[in-house]
Structure 1
Amino acid sequence: MPMAPVRRRDDHKLLVLAGIGGLVLIAAPIVVFSQLPEVVPSGDPAGLEAPLTGEYGGLGGVVEEPSPTSPSLRVSPLPGAPSRLDGSGRVVLAATSANGTVVTSTQTDRPERQEISGWTDLGGAAAGDPVLATDAIGEMSAFVVGTDGHLMRNRGLKPALNGTSKWRDLGGAQLVGTPAVAQDAEGKLVVVARGADGSLQVIQQTAVVADTWGEWQRVQVPAAHDPAIYRDSQGELRIFASGPDGRLRTIVQVGLSGAEWSVPQDLGGSLAGPPAVIMDAEGRLRVFALDEAGALQHNVETGTASGAWVGWENLGGQLTGRPFATTGARGGVAVHVLDPSGKMREVFQTGVERDGWSEWQDRDGNLARLVAVVQDRQGRFLAHGVGKRGGMERALQLVPSTAHWSGWETDLGGVFPTG
Structure 2
Amino acid sequence: MHPISRRGLLRATAAAGALALPGLAPATAAAGTIPPHRWIGAGPFTHVYDPSTPGRRRYLNDHTLLKADGRWHVFGIVGDSAAPGRSPDSAAETAFAHASAPDPYGPWTGHADALTLDPGYHGEEHLWAPHVIEADGTYWMFYAAGGSTGAAINLATSTDLTTWTRLPSGPLFRGRAARDPMVTRIAGQWVIYYTEVSATDGRHLVCHRRSDDLVHWSEPGTAYADETTESTGVSVTESPFVLEQDGWYYLFIGPRVGYEGTDVLASRDPFRFTLDGYAGHVPGHAVEAVADGADRYASAAGWFGDGLYLAPLQWRATPPSWQSPDNPAVSLDVDGRLNVFALDAADRSMLRRVQLDPATDTWSDWERFGGPAGAVPTLARDTDGRLEVFSLAPGGVNLHHRAQRADGGWSDWEEFGGPAAAAPAVARNADGRLEVFALSPDGAVVARRRQTSPGGSAWDPWDAGFGGPAGAPPVVAANADGRLEVFVLAPGGAALSHRWQLAPNGAWSAWSAFGTAAGNAPRVGRDGSGRLTVAAVAPSGVGSFHRRQSVASGGWDAWQPLFGWSTAAPLLVPSADGRLEAFAPAPGGERLDHRWQLSPGGAWDPGEEFGEPGVTLTATPSGAADATGRVHLFAVTADGRIRTRVQARPSGGWLPWTAFGDRAVATLRSSAPAP
Q: Same fold (TM over 0.5)?
A: yes
Please report how far the alpha carbon of residue 125 of structure 1 lies from its aligned counterpart in structure 2 after TM superposition: 3.4
The answer to whether the Cα contact below 8 Å between 2:638 and 2:667 also exists between their aligned partners in 1 is no
Q: 1:241 to 1:318 in 2, by over 3 A?
A: same
| CA distance in structure 2 between the aligned counterparts of 1:286 and 1:398, rounded to whole angstroms | 25
The answer to whether the Cα contact below 8 Å between 1:225 and 1:241 also exists between their aligned partners in 2 is yes
The answer to whether the Cα contact below 8 Å between 1:368 and 1:388 also exists between their aligned partners in 2 is yes
Please report how far the alpha carbon of residue 271 of structure 1 lies from its aligned counterpart in structure 2 after TM superposition: 1.0
The residue identity in structure 2 corresponding to 1:170 is: F
Partner of residue 236, structure 1: 483
Partner of residue 92, structure 1: 339
Please report how far the alpha carbon of residue 226 of structure 1 lies from its aligned counterpart in structure 2 after TM superposition: 2.5
| 2:392 matches 1:123 | no
Structure 2: which 5+ residue stretches go unaligned?
A: 1-327, 670-675
Identify the match of residue 472 of structure 2 among 206, 218, 225.
225
| CA distance in structure 1 between the aligned counterparts of 2:659 and 2:611, rounded to whole angstroms | 12
Query: Matched residue pairs, number?
Result: 329
| 2:525 matches 1:275 | no
Of the structure 1 ranges 199-208 and 131-140, higher mean CA displacement relative to structure 2 is found in 131-140
Partner of residue 297, structure 2: none
| 2:434 matches 1:186 | no
Of the structure 1 ranges 263-272 and 192-201, higher mean CA displacement relative to structure 2 is found in 192-201
Partner of residue 346, structure 1: 594
| CA distance in structure 2 between the aligned counterparts of 1:379 and 1:353, rounded to whole angstroms | 16
Identify the match of residue 547 of structure 2 among 299, 304, 319.
299
Identify the match of residue 201 of structure 1 among 447, 459, 462.
447
Identify the match of residue 391 of structure 1 among 635, 641, 647.
641
| CA distance in structure 2 between the aligned counterparts of 1:117 and 1:232, rounded to whole angstroms | 35
| CA distance in structure 2 between the aligned counterparts of 1:370 and 1:225, rounded to whole angstroms | 16
| CA distance in structure 2 between the aligned counterparts of 1:287 and 1:230, rounded to whole angstroms | 10
Partner of residue 335, structure 1: 582
Partner of residue 252, structure 1: 500
| 3-state SS of paired residue (2:573) | strand
Partner of residue 310, structure 1: 557
The residue identity in structure 1 corresponding to 2:664 is: G
The residue identity in structure 1 corresponding to 2:580 is: V
Please report how far the alpha carbon of residue 128 of structure 1 lies from its aligned counterpart in structure 2 after TM superposition: 1.4
| 2:415 matches 1:169 | yes
The residue identity in structure 1 corresponding to 2:422 is: G
Please report how far the alpha carbon of residue 332 of structure 1 lies from its aligned counterpart in structure 2 after TM superposition: 1.0
Please report how far the alpha carbon of residue 181 of structure 1 lies from its aligned counterpart in structure 2 after TM superposition: 0.8
Q: 1:88 to 1:326 in 2, by over 3 A?
A: same
Q: 1:115 to 1:313 in 2, by over 3 A?
A: same
| CA distance in structure 2 between the aligned counterparts of 1:238 and 1:210, rounded to whole angstroms | 22
Q: 1:281 to 1:255 in 2, by over 3 A?
A: closer
Q: Deviations over 1:302-330 (max 9, x none)?
A: 21211x21121112321113421111122
Please report how far the alpha carbon of residue 118 of structure 1 lies from its aligned counterpart in structure 2 after TM superposition: 1.4
Q: 1:346 to 1:246 in 2, by over 3 A?
A: farther
The answer to whether the Cα contact below 8 Å between 2:528 and 2:600 also exists between their aligned partners in 1 is no
The answer to whether the Cα contact below 8 Å between 2:349 and 2:372 also exists between their aligned partners in 1 is yes
| CA distance in structure 2 between the aligned counterparts of 1:197 and 1:388, rounded to whole angstroms | 29
| CA distance in structure 1 between the aligned counterparts of 2:384 and 2:529, rounded to whole angstroms | 28
What's the TM-score once normalised by structure 2's chain length? 0.46
Q: 1:269 to 1:359 in 2, by over 3 A?
A: same
The answer to whether the Cα contact below 8 Å between 1:178 and 1:193 also exists between their aligned partners in 2 is yes
The answer to whether the Cα contact below 8 Å between 2:645 and 2:654 also exists between their aligned partners in 1 is no
Please report how far the alpha carbon of residue 136 of structure 1 lies from its aligned counterpart in structure 2 after TM superposition: 2.8
Q: 1:354 to 1:136 in 2, by over 3 A?
A: closer
| 2:620 matches 1:375 | no
What's the TM-score once normalised by structure 1's chain length? 0.72
Q: 1:341 to 1:401 in 2, by over 3 A?
A: farther
Partner of residue 154, structure 1: 402
| CA distance in structure 1 between the aligned counterparts of 2:547 and 2:569, rounded to whole angstroms | 16
The answer to whether the Cα contact below 8 Å between 1:385 and 1:392 also exists between their aligned partners in 2 is yes
The residue identity in structure 2 corresponding to 1:185 is: A
Please report how far the alpha carbon of residue 106 of structure 1 lies from its aligned counterpart in structure 2 after TM superposition: 0.6
The answer to whether the Cα contact below 8 Å between 2:389 and 2:402 also exists between their aligned partners in 1 is yes
Please report how far the alpha carbon of residue 371 of structure 1 lies from its aligned counterpart in structure 2 after TM superposition: 4.5
| 3-state SS of paired residue (2:618) | strand
Please report how far the alpha carbon of residue 201 of structure 1 lies from its aligned counterpart in structure 2 after TM superposition: 1.3
Deviating 4+ runs (over 6 angstroms): 255-258
Please report how far the alpha carbon of residue 354 of structure 1 lies from its aligned counterpart in structure 2 after TM superposition: 5.3
Identify the match of residue 361 of structure 1 among 582, 594, 608.
608
| 3-state SS of paired residue (1:321) | coil
| 3-state SS of paired residue (1:182) | strand
Identify the structure with bigger relative contact order (alpha carbons < 8 Å, sequence gap 6+): 2
| CA distance in structure 2 between the aligned counterparts of 1:311 and 1:348, rounded to whole angstroms | 19
| CA distance in structure 2 between the aligned counterparts of 1:354 and 1:141, rounded to whole angstroms | 29
1:32-47 matches, cutoff 5 A:
none
Q: 1:91 to 1:240 in 2, by over 3 A?
A: same
Structure 1: which 5+ residue stretches go unaligned?
A: 1-80, 159-164
The residue identity in structure 2 corresponding to 1:298 is: H
Partner of residue 66, structure 1: none
Partner of residue 279, structure 2: none
Identify the match of residue 215 of structure 1 among 437, 461, 467.
461
| CA distance in structure 2 between the aligned counterparts of 1:203 and 1:243, rounded to whole angstroms | 21
Q: 1:406 to 1:167 in 2, by over 3 A?
A: same
Note the aligned Cα RMSD (angstroms): 2.5
| CA distance in structure 1 between the aligned counterparts of 2:531 and 2:360, rounded to whole angstroms | 34
Please report how far the alpha carbon of residue 193 of structure 1 lies from its aligned counterpart in structure 2 after TM superposition: 1.6
Please report how far the alpha carbon of residue 254 of structure 1 lies from its aligned counterpart in structure 2 after TM superposition: 4.3
Partner of residue 139, structure 1: 386
Structure number with higher strand proportion: 2
Q: 1:379 to 1:209 in 2, by over 3 A?
A: closer
The residue identity in structure 1 corresponding to 2:648 is: L
Identity among equivalent positions (%) equals 25
Please report how far the alpha carbon of residue 261 of structure 1 lies from its aligned counterpart in structure 2 after TM superposition: 2.3
